[in-house]
């Protein structure tokens, strides 16, 4: 890895081979490594008793925050849910409520 040199210390005689390349991505990014749920201001709440396991909410979640195991929908992954409310809008059984998050 090449050392960062502040602009004030730039050598005018440097060649292109000595300049650190830009735009390199050393590894694939994944939201699994980051708690993006902290950005949320609104929060969905799962009401299991009302859920008919239609799974209409699962494919519309842009954050993959609705886990499904063995064909059964589980509670939200609040570590990654950003509170967009799309799941709430598509649930025909009222199994998801949506409101302001109290932190």
Q: Answer yes or no: is 59 within a domain.
A: yes
Q: Answer yes or no: is 87 within a domain.
A: yes
Q: Answer yes or no: is 68 within a domain.
A: yes
- The 10s digit of each residue's pLDDT in 16-48 is 787 777 777 777 777 677 888 888 999 999 999
Tell me the pTM: 0.69
Q: For 88, phi and psi rounded to 5 degrees? A: -60, -40
50: containing domain: 36-103
Q: Answer yes or no: is 28 within a domain.
A: no
Instruction: Please give the span between the terminal C-alpha atoms of the chain, in angstroms, as a whole number.
Output: 41
Looking at every residue in the chain, the average pLDDT score rounds to 87
Residue 81 pLDDT: 95
Q: Answer yes or no: is 45 within a domain.
A: yes
Do you know the residue count of the chain?
103
Say how many domains are in the chain. Answer: 1
91-100 average pLDDT score: 97
Q: Answer yes or no: is 90 within a domain.
A: yes
The CATH number assigned to the domain holding 61 equals 3.30.70.20
């Amino acid at each position: 890895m090449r050392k960062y040199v502040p602009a004030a210390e730039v050598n005018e005689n440097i060649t292109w081979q000595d300049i650190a390349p830009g735009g390199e991505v050393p590894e694939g990014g994944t939201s699994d490594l980051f708690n993006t749920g902290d950005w949320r201001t609104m929060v969905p709440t799962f009401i299991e008793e009302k859920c008919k396991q239609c799974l209409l909410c699962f494919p519309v979640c842009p954050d993959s925050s609705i886990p499904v195991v063995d064909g059964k929908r589980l509670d939200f992954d609040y570590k990654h849910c950003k509170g967009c409310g799309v799941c709430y809008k598509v649930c025909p059984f009222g199994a998801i409520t949506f409101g302001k998050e109290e932190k």
